[in-house]
Amino acid sequence: MAKVFTIPVPPQLGNKRRERTSDPRYVDGQRLLVEAMKYLAQSDPVKNRSAIELISEHVRTRFRMSDSPLA
Q: Is residue 38 part of a domain?
A: yes
pLDDT value at 68 more than 80: no
Q: Is residue 9 part of a domain?
A: no
Residue 50 structural domain: 24-66
Per-residue pLDDT band for 48 (boundaries 50, 70, 90) equals very high
CA distance 25 to 63: 12
What is residue 36's predicted lDDT score, i.e. its pLDDT?
93
pLDDT value at 71 more than 50: no
Q: What is the mean pLDDT of residues 32-45?
A: 92
pLDDT value at 53 more than 80: yes
CA distance 17 to 14: 10
Question: Domains in the chain: how many in total?
Answer: 1
Q: Is residue 15 part of a domain?
A: no
* Residue 2 or residue 34, greater confidence: 34
Q: Is residue 40 part of a domain?
A: yes
